[in-house]
Amino acid sequence: MNHYLRNCLYLAALVAVVQLAVTKAAFAGEGIGTGDLGVVIERAAGSLRVLETTNNRLVSRVEGLGDLSHASVVYSRDQRYAYVFGRDGALSRVDILAGTVDKRIVQSGNSIGGAISQDGRLVAVSNYEPGGVRVFDSATLALVADIPARYGDGQLSKVIGLVDAPGNRFVFSLWDAGEIWIADMTRPDEPRITRFKNVGRNPYDALITPDGRYYLAGLFGEDGLAMLDLWHPGRGVTRVLPHYGRRGEKLPVYKMPHLEGWAVAGTLAFVPAVGAHEVLVIDTNTWTEAGRIDVHGQPVFVMAQPDGRRVWVNFALPDNDTVQVIDTETLAVERTLVPGPGVLHMEFEPRGEEVWISVRDRDVVKVYDTGTLEPVAELKADKPSGIFFTARAHRIGL
């Protein structure tokens, strides 16, 4: 190695050390705690930015996280560690105070998200390849349990819709098998699996209600939702909202809506329609449709402010430059915002005074005041997608 190259490498290493030291000193000097932090995924670069909400700023960047094209994040109980699930099968534990990758493993060929257990001791990953769920110790990332999603004559199914549930359980759906499974992790070395078969064709996504009672899976192969009451699992899976889906019509669907983006406000749920320019209103007491709201495009995420007063909606192509705000009392669109092309995700600050919106095609994250509905900050980020605040550490299903 020549002298010039050696000096360049030395200087690069020195800059990295200084940047980390500055970040740590800033946290220590300003007394920033983890509750004021979050991350935004930089999907194309395989990195994430640690963000701070009080002053609306990005404070550090963590690189080397692999394929983040469909990444999601959960947090440890103390909110210090972000567990990042990459599409390349990687599971990374990121220390957001230090701005470093604490541990990283590649646990499968293709994964699609994960969850952390109620007690915070276990992290589960749902896998496309090979199909199934793998469960890891949250402190060491050591494998605790391997749950192959076998069905029929021994085939392996893709797993989607993995969520945590009360009682140290994980609940997930099998795309190929048309099944829903509950994994009771009371004894992590001996998971108890309860299988519900024939729930519907190709469950493609799922959610758990904020109280942890109902698990609902959307069905790509037919209309309706498969619902499991986790208070009374012995009653089996029931079908609700039989007309939810494409309603038998050959509608072009530019992006399947995310069910985990459902908004629950009071006794109403606000649900993205499939292939239609509508948000559906659902009465959660009866799980029947209570209304429809015409919106700008095909909705992807329908998300409620923490106070439930408004619902924010983003859209699939070709309308993905727009966000609409719905009044949950009048069920009317209150404001149409145009943050810019490629709006991929929204995340409310813990008490809901501001919302952060990723605008991928402008390489920015925009922050809006939820009272005035006006922008208050704009931060540079490389092709930002998912935004995840540490308050998720204490919410079921997130």
Highest mean pLDDT among 8-22, 296-310, 353-367: 353-367
- Please state, in angstroms and rounded to a whole number, the distance separating the CA atoms of residues 36 and 55: 10
pLDDT of residue 252: 61
271 compared with 168, residue with greater pLDDT:
168
**Closest CA relative to residue 98, chosen from 21, 182, 3:** 21
Sign of CA dihedral 63, 350, 315, 206: positive
State residue 34 phi and psi, 5-degree precision.
-65, -25
Mean pLDDT of all residues belonging to the chain: 90
Global pTM reads 0.90
Q: 339: exposed, middle or buried (C-beta count within 10 Å: 0-12, 13-18, 19+)?
A: buried
Confidence grade of residue 135 (pLDDT, cut at 50, 70, 90):
very high
pLDDT of residue 249: 54
For residues 293-316, average pLDDT: 94
For residues 215-229, average pLDDT: 92
Peptide bond into 203 cis (omega under 30): no
For residues 121-137, average pLDDT: 97
Strand boundaries in 131-241, DSSP class E: 132-137, 143-148, 150-151, 155-156, 159-165, 169-174, 179-184, 192-196, 203-208, 214-219, 225-229, 237-240
- Please state, in angstroms and rounded to a whole number, the distance separating the CA atoms of residues 311 and 266: 12
pLDDT of residue 255: 67
pLDDT of residue 19: 46
pLDDT at 20 over 70: no
- List the single range of 1-10, 301-310, 340-349 with lowest mean pLDDT: 1-10
Confidence grade of residue 398 (pLDDT, cut at 50, 70, 90):
confident
pLDDT at 329 over 80: yes
> Nearest 5°: CA angle at 320, between 373 and 260?
80
Sign of CA dihedral 194, 198, 199, 202: positive
Instruction: Give the percent of the chain with pLDDT over 90.
Output: 80
